[in-house]
Each structure stands twice: as C-alpha cells, then as structure tokens.
Structure 1
Amino acid sequence: MNALLLAGGMGTRLRPLTDHMPKPMALVGNRPWLEHLVLQLKNQGFSDFVMAVQYYSEQIRNYFGDGSKWGVRIRYAVEHTLRGTAGAIKNAEPYLDDRFVVVNADIVQEADLADLLEFHRMRGGLVTIGLTEVEDPSHYGVIEQDGEDRIIRFVEKPRRDEAPSNRINAGIYVMEKQSLQYIPDHREVSIERETFPLLIKENAGVYGKVISGYWMDMGTKERYRAIHWDLLNRVCRLPLDGEERGSGIWIGDRSEIAPGALLIPPVLIGNGCKIGERSIVGPFAVLGDNCEIGKGVRCSETIMWDNCTAHDAVHLNNCILGYGLEVGSRQIMHEAVMNRMEAKEA
C-alpha cells in the first residue's frame, strides 16, 4: 500500500510566507512540514510515496528527489492546472496501489494510521475518512453518520446549534482504487462537494472514523503560530532537532550564546545561530539555522526562518520572518509577517 500526499496547495492565507513556495514546505520546528510528514509515515511502515504537486512543484521535487535520502521511494504526479482534491487524486491514478492512503499535506497531525487501516478493512467500503472532533464545527464541513459509522451526508458550515455532530473531515483517507471511477478526469473536482456525496448516493460505502493525536490545519498565520507554540509546549510531539538544555530550551549544533544573553523557555534555537550580549530570546521563540541576533535584542513569540538577522536593540514580538530577512538596528516590530526569498534546497 502506498501513500499519496496532496502537496499542491498555494497557501493563499499564509502569504507572504508562501509567495514563493508550496504551503507544505513551510517550516515547522525548523524543518519543512512535508519532511516531517514523510518521516512520520515512514515510521508507520510506509515506504512508497506519491506526491501530488502543482504550485512551485520544482521546489518539492528538488528537495526530496527520489526519496532515497530518507530511505523511501517518491514519485510525483504533477498537475499543470489546479484540479481540486479529487482531481489531484485522479491525476495520480497511474501510480496508486489497489488500496492507498491519501493525506492532505498542509495539515499538521500526528495520526496513527494503523487503527484507521484496520477499520477500513473491517468495514469493506470504498472509502474511509479520518475524522477529527472540533469544539466549534460552524467553520467546517460537518459529517453525519449512522449507527454503523457509515457517513450519510456532509453539512457545510452549519450553525453551531444545528450541526449534526462535531466531527469534520481530517484530510486523511483510505481509498480503494475502484473509487476513482467516480471521479471525472481532466477537470477540477472537489472531493467533499462532488465525489463523496456521489459515493454516498451510490451506496458505495463511505465510512468515517475519529483519529487520535494532534491535528491542526496550518492554513492561517494564527494557526501557524499556534502550531509552533503547541510544538514548544510539547502538546504536538513532533521531534525537535538540537540538544535540550534545561526544561523547554533546545539548541542546535554550533550555536553560540554570548555571556549575559538570556533564553526564556520555551525556545528552539537552530544550528549555527549567534545570540549577542544582553539579548533576551523567548518565551515562545523559534530561530532557524544560521540566524544572528545582535546585542540587546528582545525577541518573543516570534518565528524566524533560516539565515535571518536582527541587529542590535531590535524588538520583535509575535512576528514571523521568512528566509534571509534582515532587521535593522533599533527597529520595533509587532505582529509583522514578512518573506522575500525562495525556500531552501535539500
């Protein structure tokens, strides 16, 4: 069984961070989320991957190549025009096994797929949708199920008091290849608005099972920050590179912390960073590789990607800085989100 990763998203709501990169390549804890996902699924026994790519597809292909660096096999289903979720799956059909897993690659999650796969096998339907439960379902497409876990219908963004459940599509599916005959070719197709309702209407067997573990769509800047704070608090248990020095402080190789500088946990410092005298970094700060912090800098609730520089006496609060940005001395920045360079290569 292979895994199809839907990695063609443009990340419109994450701009300007995604102006020059696919959303799944955004850094999460100083590593592209898509890399985390490949490693996560590899640890669950998957070794054969198909990546559905479209927006800046060359970045993903250059970064991952054939997957041998990670001990897996990766092939690419390239969309020349956007085809929607179902259309992207249909486009990948030549590469897919008779049964395969689909994962929306811009959702940060830690789902254990073993239970979902066993549930799918036992139910014998064409599709099993991984579900997650949310406190307020009014912002999502909500599902309604019968007593046998079969999905009856989807309700798009219902009022909270009218929602049939608090269960939503988690963007993880187990599918039989036979189900692809219900997806028209060569056009944009929505899996929730077209394919799943058609399968339900045809009584083809669409089931849903709640998955356990961390789950968050990183589609907005607010949620992107929240994922990092969950990561630093270890609510999200994705691995963090670097040596943990004390509770909640991770420091990478070759990083230099000047005398008099203070790290307030939780904080993650990448490889090759320099932090100057009297600077205070944290709480809730993530510095990418080769970042340089001058003297007397105050940096809190801020995420900096690789090769950023904050000169002396800069104040950064609740900011996200993309690759290679430089902030001049004595600048004060609050809730700034900036990016100007393309994503790094492998």
Structure 2
Amino acid sequence: MSARWQDAVVGEDLPLLDAIARLDAAALQILIVTDAEGRLAGTLTDGDVRRAILRQLSLDSPVAEAMHRSPTTIPVGASREEAIGRMRERRLRHLPIIDEGGRPVGLDLLDEVAAPTTRPNAVVLMAGGLGTRLRPLTETTPKPLLRVGGRPLLETIVESFADHGFTRFFLSINYRADQVEAYFGDGSQLGVEVDYLREDEALGTAGALSLLPEAPTEPIVVMNGDILTRLDFGQLIDFHSRTHAELTMCVREYEMQVPYGVVEVEGERVTSLVEKPTARHFVNAGIYVLAPSLIANIRRGERLDMTDLAQRVMAGNGRLSAFPIREYWLDIGHLKDYERAQADFARYFIEADR
C-alpha cells in the first residue's frame, strides 16, 4: 500500500484545475474522490483529465464532472497476490482499498507491489534533421546532441522512455550521423539496445520506418528527437491498445489570442463583437504510436511524413486516435525554445525526480 495515499484524497466539489494540481503534487497518477460522508465517489486519473480536455470541460467545473464514477476497488485485508491479479486482469495501475462502509483506507499501486513492466514495443527517434532553425548551434553539432541540462537532449529522451520500461530503440540518422553513433553506440551504457536507421536521403518521419530491419509485431512509438516532455509513455501505449487505433497522434492544446476586437457581420449589420478573443486548438505534438499493419504498408525508400500517413488512415476510414498531452512538453525548434529548455530542465527533470 502506498504510504502517501492520503495525499491523493480530494472532495468531489474541488475545481478540476485544483484537482489537476493535486494530481501532479501527489505524484501517484490518481486522485481518490470522496463525498461529504467520506465514502468513495470516484477516481480521477490522467486519462480522465485527458478525456475532460477533449470534451472541453471547463477547468472551473467540480472534479465530480470529470471523475470515473465506478472505479475498481479491493476490500481491506485482501492479499497482495489478489491485488496484483485484479490490477493485471483489468489492466489497472492503481487500486483503492475500501472498508465495509465504502470509505477509502489505502491505495495499492502496481509499480509498488509488482516488478516494473518491460515493454516489448520498439521506439523510433527521429534524429537526422539539419536543425537549420537552431544555427549556429547546429553547424558543428547535430540537434539531438545539443546539451540541455548538461547532457544531450536525445539522452534525456532515451532515459525517459527507459524509465517507463522501453529498452529497444532505433535512431533515424542523417546529418552528422557519425557523432550520434559515436555517442550512443549500442546503447549498453544507458542499459538499453540501440540500432540505427541510416537515411542516405531524407525520407520523412514515416518513410524512415521502411528501413526497420524487420517487421514489428507490436505497436511502435515514433517521436521527433527535438522534444522535451514528461509524458508517461506507458500510458500512451496502453491508450493506443485500448482504442484499437491504427495510428495514435499525441496532441497539445494551443491558445492563440487575436490582438484586436473581432467583429462578425451579416451584410452591413454587425451581429457580434468580441474583444481580443482567445482561440483554442489541438496541435500535433510530434509523438505517435503505429500499429504493425500500418508500418507494413510503407514502401521501402518512400518519402513520407507522418501527417501524410495520418491522411491515408483517415482516407481509408481507419482509426486515428488523439492522445492529449497535459504534462510538460516543449518542441525545441528555435533558439528561444532552446533557451527555455535550459531554464525548464531543473524544474521538470531534476526537481520532479527527487
């Protein structure tokens, strides 16, 4: 049982924004929501938050409107083996412990009661770009080897995946490929296995997958090699499997404020006037999960970007799922982003791990 489970208990009237802050602070990936009498009313996980974001639920709404109302629980006194079996059977990572009156008295976490899960899924990291928008930094150093927080960006990415049980990596390389190979080698220094997809010419984020030495039998994760994120990659894989998607695309909510008052008209008549409105959209976050069947349809040497592949899936009435990222995420595409990454690293990648 987690010693910190009481940090994750909140009332059902707590605003969703505050609940998200508690979810992050408790660092248990779940909140136990109770009613006025202290009985279990539901639970809130990262997945529930993502679904609330997708349906654009206001962050001022009570957590009760976003929580899962019928969570799986286990009675107080149940054995460790029973808890592990129930979580594995239902593919859960958390299990509230409930007394006879329906009140929470503890929380079992799969990561604490069972050995960490090693993921069979391969990870492909796109590390061959020229990095032209980051010049002069990239004139002699490939972008994935630029140092953020005192170490190469790509090393942080690999270690983030390894922390979630991923051990098999393919690095797609082109520009200054020899430097990338010299640094990572076979991956043994990081406790993982690394191979290389060598692009003689740019094939795009999907085309490079045609260079895989063998057809995958499990979904694979593909990620741009210039992204800094605290995303839980295990949850991403589980989401992809649960939705039976051919392709899962991670998305990030992006806000744009119009710097003027927006006027809507019909003919000569003004029908609406909104002062400096904010528009919200989901944008492509550069992280994907692909089903093996989708990779098999990429022709070897074909120039293909992931957005083109997504269009193919939709045109063929395939399932394309969106996985909203609510954790820290930064695309290091420009010098200002690189400077921000340096400032953010200690907060999100050092302090968060203490």
- 1:3-37, Cα deviation, whole Å (9 max, x unpaired): 11111111100011001222111110110000111
With over 3 angstroms needed to count, the CA separation of the structure-2 counterparts of 1:99 and 1:69, relative to structure 1, is: same
Report the Cα distance in structure 2 between the residues aligned to 1:171 and 1:95, rounded to whole angstroms: 22
SS of match in other structure, 1:168? strand
Report the Cα distance in structure 1 between the residues aligned to 2:223 and 2:252, rounded to whole angstroms: 14
Counterpart pick for 1:188 among 293, 303, 307: 303
1:186 is displaced (CA, Å) by 1.6
* TM-score between both structures, scaled by the size of structure 2: 0.57
Give the letter aligned to residue 23 of structure 1. K
* Cα pair 2:159 2:190 within 8 Å, conserved: yes
Report the Cα distance in structure 1 between the residues aligned to 2:295 and 2:213, rounded to whole angstroms: 8
1:97 is displaced (CA, Å) by 4.2
SS of match in other structure, 1:238? helix
Q: Which residue of 1 aligns with 2:338?
A: 224
State the identity as a percent: 33
Report the Cα distance in structure 1 between the residues aligned to 2:288 and 2:324, rounded to whole angstroms: 12
1:118 is displaced (CA, Å) by 1.7
Q: Where do 5+ consecutive residues of structure 1 fail to align?
A: 139-159, 245-346
- 1:267-304, Cα deviation, whole Å (9 max, x unpaired): xxxxxxxxxxxxxxxxxxxxxxxxxxxxxxxxxxxxxx
Report the Cα distance in structure 1 between the residues aligned to 2:249 and 2:332, rounded to whole angstroms: 20
The alignment status of 1:83 with 2:203, answered yes or no, reads: yes
* Cα pair 1:10 1:18 within 8 Å, conserved: yes
Q: Which residue of 2 aligns with 1:23?
A: 143
Counterpart pick for 1:41 among 161, 165, 171: 161
* Cα pair 1:137 1:168 within 8 Å, conserved: no
1:184 is displaced (CA, Å) by 3.5
Report the Cα distance in structure 2 between the residues aligned to 1:205 and 1:213, rounded to whole angstroms: 24
Counterparts of 1:271-282 in structure 2, within 5 Å, are: none
Counterparts of 1:195-234 in structure 2, within 5 Å, are: 195-232=309-346, 234=347
Counterpart pick for 1:60 among 160, 174, 180: 180
Counterpart pick for 1:168 among 264, 269, 283: 283
With over 3 angstroms needed to count, the CA separation of the structure-2 counterparts of 1:62 and 1:79, relative to structure 1, is: same
* Cα pair 2:210 2:302 within 8 Å, conserved: no
With over 3 angstroms needed to count, the CA separation of the structure-2 counterparts of 1:211 and 1:137, relative to structure 1, is: farther
1:45 is displaced (CA, Å) by 0.4
* TM-score between both structures, scaled by the size of structure 1: 0.58
1:93 is displaced (CA, Å) by 5.8
Q: Where do 5+ consecutive residues of structure 2 fail to align?
A: 1-120, 259-275
The alignment status of 1:71 with 2:185, answered yes or no, reads: no
Report the Cα distance in structure 2 between the residues aligned to 1:59 and 1:12, rounded to whole angstroms: 17
Q: Which residue of 2 aligns with 1:177?
A: 292
1:137 is displaced (CA, Å) by 9.5
Q: How many residues align?
A: 215
SS of match in other structure, 1:116? helix
1:122 is displaced (CA, Å) by 1.2
* Cα pair 2:124 2:171 within 8 Å, conserved: yes
Counterpart pick for 1:106 among 223, 226, 234: 226
Give the letter aligned to residue 8 of structure 1. G
Report the Cα distance in structure 2 between the residues aligned to 1:103 and 1:134, rounded to whole angstroms: 19
- Higher-helix-fraction structure: 2
* Cα pair 1:67 1:74 within 8 Å, conserved: yes
Counterpart pick for 2:171 among 42, 51, 60: 51
Report the Cα distance in structure 2 between the residues aligned to 1:92 and 1:215, rounded to whole angstroms: 27
Give the letter aligned to residue 54 of structure 1. N
